[in-house]
Chains A and B, each alone.
Chain A
Amino acid sequence: MTHGFLLYARARTVPRTVLVLVATAALAVLGARNLNAYLDPTRQVPVVALAPLFAAAVIGTSLHSASEELDRTAVRPWWRRRLVHLLALTGCAALLLAATVLGPSSPFGPSAMIRNTLGCTGLTAGAVAVLGTRLSWLPVFGYVSAVYVGSASARGTLVPVWAWPVQPAGQHVAWVTAVVLLVAGTALYVVRGARPEGRRD
């Protein structure tokens, strides 16, 4: 049993994924180091928006199965393994990244980092189900980039809903959007699995 789970974890390159997530966190620490964010908290926005984006991309590509066809013959339904796998990696990324921005309380601190990790991973998990693992980073990359560029000049009551990755932690609506994305994306992935790639029908 345990042995099987170990093989499963290795098959999905979980150890390597965790290492890359640690490296991402290290990069975030470096990026946040000399920002002097106590002068202007918004200086931390690039780190809080981009590190979760990168972590989500890593998680998305790690959901790849190299022998999809054989995996389909598994006796047990896959949903439970998929759920545990995705949530474990998401939790791991959220904790690691939150630790990188610990410090004097800031609106772009751990809370915003966790929110963005959950939202980005949700979006990516949905993309895994719809596009396959190989391109799963694309929607979240496009979306967060667009928000990052476009939200500065945007005005309106709906801004916190769609510009959730660059909102301060106190903005509850942004949290709602992120959690909805996480739940929807996870549900889609857990039920449907990764879209099969590279097989001719």
Chain B
Amino acid sequence: MSTAPHTASRPVPEAPAATVRTTGLHVRHRRTVALDSVDLDFGPGVHGLLGPNGAGKTSLIRVLATVAEPSGGRVEILGHDTRDHRRRGEVRRHLGYLPQDFGYYPGFTVREFVAYVAWLKEMPADRVPAAVERAVARVGLADRVDTKVRRLSGGMIRRVGIAQAVVNDPRVLLLDEPTAGLDPEQRVEFRELLRELGASSTVIVSTHLVEDVAAACTEVTLVDAGRVAYRGTPLALAALGESAGGPGDHPIERGYTAALRAHRAPEARAGRPSASEGAAR
């Protein structure tokens, strides 16, 4: 409900047709509400998903990845309603997903692990070997392709996770904290890859690192306590931080805290034009 005004007044030119759309999305975990009537739409580009721990970022990504069932509302991906089991398979073919925690099979090499995921996505068998090579090269692990996954360092395992997510050239790519554990150089390379992927697909990245958002994202969605607190470009968020004077060391950080405060302030909920909206333009 709070999302509509921001979306409507987005400064970027009218976005291409949305590839991912949620309407009135509700997600509960036992007693707690993880997402509360979330209306969002994402088109091609790189979308940053920011928010405090427990805000609902992972819940949103898991529902979009079709691994968790929403308790209410609608999710449409590439024009298919994901509640329909027959359509879901079609959606998954074009989906890439990096969970926060993906297990890997003991004994698998990088090549085998990525090929296994390609098989899960039902890629034609003759295209798999080349696709695996390409995905592994894209994350800079070409020289480790025949190393066992369990022998790799944490940052490299994270990159294997990214490789499996992009192996099928997904049209919708969902990454849950992809840069956790990467060193600065790897993060720079990863952002480069993000921009490249975002040119043709819809990439949704949840992250805590504002530099990633500033450098690679075309749009930011800020989630707080299961609701959308802010939507806009990274530039607009930074501008908000400058004008509202939120605490932080980076313009986006200041925008982040300012937008969160504006969202949490009682008058913002009551519908008064919030600081975020005014300053975002």
Contact = CB atoms under 8 A, between A and B. Distances in A.
Do A and B associate with each other? yes
B164 interface: yes
Given A70-B97, A201-B29, A76 B89 contact: yes
Interface stretch (B4-12, B101-109, B201-209, B216-224): B101-109
Contacts of A68: 103
Nearest to A68: B103
A74 B120 contact: yes
Interface string A168-193: 00000000000000000000000000
Interface stretch (B35-43, B121-129, B251-259): B121-129
Interface in B143-173: 164
Contact of B106 (A4, A66, A69, A74): A66
Given A3-B128, A75-B93, A69 B121 contact: no
Nearest to B128: A3
A73 B102 contact: no
A91 B196 CA distance: 50
B125 A4 contact: yes
A8 interface: yes
B158 to A, nearest CB: 14
Contacts of A8: 116, 119
A7 B105 CA distance: 10
A71 B117 CA distance: 8
Contact of B105 (A67, A69, A72, A75): A67
Contacts of B65: 73
Contacts of A65: 103
A73 B119 contact: no
Taking chain A's interface residues, is the majority helix, strand, or loop, or is none over half, making it mixed? loop
Contact of B95 (A10, A66, A73): A73
A39 interface: no
Contact of A75 (B89, B103, B112, B125): B89
Contact of B120 (A66, A70, A199): A70
A185 B201 CA distance: 43
Contacts of A73: 65-67, 92, 95, 97, 120-121
Interface residues of A, number: 24
Given A70-B117, A73-B67, A76-B89, A7 B97 contact: no
A8 B115 CA distance: 10
B99 A75 contact: no
B272 interface: no
Contacts of B120: 70-71, 73-75
A66 B105 contact: yes
A92 interface: no
Which of B29, B66, B95, B101 has the largest count of A CB atoms less than 10 A from its CB?
B101
Interface in B129-144: none
Contacts of B30: 201
Contacts of B29: 201
Interface string B57-97: 00000000111000000000000000001000100110101
B159 to A, nearest CB: 15
Contacts of B103: 65-70
Interface string A49-66: 000000000000000011
Given A3-B115, A4-B116, A70-B97, A10 B102 contact: no
Given A69-B103, A74-B92, 7 more contacts: A10-B107, A13-B107, A65-B103, A69-B67, A69-B101, A73-B66, A75-B121
Interface of A: 1-4, 7-8, 10-11, 13, 65-77, 199, 201
Would you list the 10 A-B pairs with minimal beta carbon distance, nearest first?
A: A4-B119, A66-B103, A67-B103, A72-B67, A75-B122, A74-B120, A69-B99, A11-B105, A201-B29, A7-B116
Interface of B: 29-30, 65-67, 85, 89, 92-93, 95, 97, 99, 101-108, 112, 115-117, 119-122, 125, 128, 164
24 contacts: A3-B119, A4-B115, A4-B119, A4-B125, A7-B108, A7-B119, A10-B107, A10-B108, A10-B112, A11-B105, A65-B103, A66-B106, A67-B102, A67-B103, A68-B103, A69-B102, A70-B97, A70-B164, A72-B66, A72-B67, A73-B65, A73-B97, A73-B120, A75-B89
